[in-house]
Amino acid sequence: MSSTETLESKLKALQSHFAWDLEASRQNLIHLRNILQDIGTEEGNLWLGHIYNLQGFIQYKLGSTEEALKLFNQATETFKQMKNTDEGPWLMVNFGNLAWMHHLIDEEEKSQDYLSKIDALMRKYPAPPEEELHPEVCAEKAWTLMKFDKEKKLQAAELFKKAIQMQPDTLEWQSISAILSAQNLEENIKKLYADRLEEMRSAKERDPDNLCVAALYLQAQADSIKHEARELAERILERPMNNYCGIVPLLDLYTKHISVDEAVEIAKEALRRHPDSRYTKRSAAKYYTRKIFAQRSNPDPRRIDEAISLWEEVIKAYPESSLEEKMCLADLYAKVDIEKADQIYKELLEQDGLDPAGKQLLYNRYAKHLYFIRDESKSSTEYHMKAAEIKEESKYRQNSITELEKTSGRNKDPEMCGKIKEFLTNLKAELSEPTLNQE
């Protein structure tokens, strides 16, 4: 056997990141590298040496041997500073990484030197009787597997359990083990829940007349939808915001079937992650507004100001802002500054180029503004008439007709009541003409 083969056989026997079957796609490696960078390298982070070790291995896998070596050496210095000593069992994995790294860049003498250092550490700090790994090595392997691969979390949990049994006074191991146990419990609950849902579905199909089972199955489905929606939200928020990212259908789902409040929280998070996206601003403004108008009590003025500010940014970002967006802004202003709301509506009424459908929408919304905000019933009625007389079938025309019918039944002014009834009679006659002509 050659000296190179002998060296490689020794390296393969080491406990290091290079021997722990840490395989991942380039995309996943980059994602993990970013996560590790976000963990923080501030002083006092008890896992900082482990972070540098794993970062070094990732850089090697990504093809940057120079950066990998730098990070492995940084891990060495970090362990020494944190432990306030130049040696200890916590350096075994780090020295193993350095032995591998120097071998891979053809620095065999340095690789052999680190192998000698590891031998010395293993003699001075042997693993407990009947155990393969020293608790420090066991804990670092557990931490690495936990960070590197979701599929290895159960193995990581077992390794942490062993490390704690061997060295029960290390608090950070106990804390991270508890976190990992909670994560594994959540995964087990998911699987258990999926199994139970399938069991209930089968029961419902076998016994379709059992309405209790049917009701419980529907409830379970609803809970499942909530869980899946939250998972989908996280995936959507990680991606660029655009018309096809899925944020609007998701927020609609939350608004209709889960919670307007949760929809708004997702919109806020989207804004936080994508502050320069005008599409995100428009989507968030829409759901902020929904929440404000869904509240029975007076909304927090700060929330209204936030929504107003968003709509103003949206209108500025979209040079050809829609009529709907400007009316949303006016309706929000109506809660804090009626004169400003009036001004926006008047500017919209004076603008040229609105098609019949646009005019109908505007007249209907302005009629409501006059009635609910300005308390001008007569003017409101006139604008409902304007909306209804436009020959464009829509929900806004039908809504104005309905409001006119209500008004004619409760209005105490005989003249106005007569005027509305005459208008409605003529309108119905007009609406029925095409049918008469066809006959």
Residue 332 lies in a domain: yes
Distance of alpha carbon 397 from alpha carbon 389, whole angstroms: 8
Task: Give a yes or no: residue 244 inside a domain.
Answer: yes
In the chain, the number of structural domains is: 3
User: Which of 125, 151, 185 is the endpoint of a domain?
Assistant: 125
* Residue at 207 is within a domain: no
- Quick one: 10 and 111 in the same domain? yes
pLDDT of res. 4: 63
How far apart CA 88 and CA 167 sit, in angstroms, is: 14
Q: Are residues 359 and 312 in the same domain?
A: no
Contact 142, 20 (CB under 8 A): no
CA distance 159 to 167: 12
The count of residues in the chain is 439
- Domain identity same for 308 and 357: no
**pLDDT for res 171:** 82
**Token reading at 23:** 């395989």
pLDDT of residue 438: 40
CATH number at residue 335: 1.25.40.10
Looking at residue 320, its pLDDT comes to 64
Quick one: pLDDT at residue 157?
Answer: 86
Q: How far is CA 74 from CA 41, 84, 116, 408, in A?
A: 11, 15, 20, 82
Angle (nearest 5°) at CA 431 between 430 and 433: 65
Q: Do 249 and 344 fall into the same domain?
A: yes
- Would residue 428 count as lying in a domain? yes
Residues 93 and 39 both lie in one domain: yes
- Whole-angstrom distance between the N-terminal and C-terminal Cα of the chain? 104
Q: Which tokens go with 251?
A: 């927020």
CA atoms within 13 A on the CB side of 324: 6
Of the residues 125, 143, 174, the one at which a domain ends: 125
Whether 111 maps to a domain, the answer reads yes
Q: Is 208 contained in some domain? A: no
308 and 360 together in one domain: no
Cβ(266)–Cβ(280) below 8 Å: no
The answer to whether 288 and 309 have CB atoms below 8 angstroms apart is no
Token reading at 425: 């009679």
Two tokens at 372? 């609910």
Q: Is residue 72 part of a domain?
A: yes
In a domain, 132, yes or no: no
Per-residue pLDDT of the chain (439 residues; tens, 9 = 90+): 456 667 888 888 899 999 998 988 787 788 788 778 756 555 567 888 999 999 999 999 999 999 999 999 999 999 999 999 999 999 999 999 999 999 999 999 999 999 999 999 999 999 988 888 999 999 999 999 988 877 788 888 889 889 999 998 888 888 877 777 766 665 666 666 666 677 777 877 888 888 777 777 787 778 778 888 888 999 999 888 876 688 888 998 888 888 888 999 999 999 999 998 888 998 899 999 988 988 877 778 888 999 999 999 988 887 666 788 899 999 999 999 999 999 999 999 998 878 888 899 999 999 999 999 999 999 999 999 999 999 888 899 999 999 999 988 776 778 888 899 999 999 888 777 654 344 3
CB 141 within 8 A of CB 158: no
What span, in angstroms and rounded, lies between the C-alpha atoms of 176 and 139?
A: 10
Whether the CB-CB separation of 73 and 103 falls below 8 Å is answered with no
> Are 287 and 251 spatial neighbours (Cβ–Cβ below 8 Å)?
yes
Predicted pLDDT at 437: 40
pLDDT reported for residue 289: 92
| Interatomic CA distance for residues 102 and 21, integer angstroms | 19
Q: Within this chain, do residues 242 and 278 fall inside the same structural domain, yes or no? A: yes
| 338 and 404 assigned to the same domain | no
**CA–CA distance, 314 with 300 (Å, rounded to integer):** 21
* Domain hosting residue 266, numbered range: 238-351
| Pair (13, 117) in one structural domain | yes
Q: What is the pLDDT of residue 439?
A: 36
Of 125, 141, 168, the position where a domain reaches its end is 125
* Nearest alpha-carbon partner for 365 in 389, 353, 348: 348
> Which helix H or strand E contains 391, and what residues bound it?
none
Q: How many helices (H) and strands (E) does the chain have?
A: 20, 0
Judge if 10 and 100 occupy the same domain.
yes
Domain match, 95 and 62 both: yes
- Do 54 and 80 reside in the same domain of the chain? yes
Which residue has tokens 């691969």?
Answer: 149
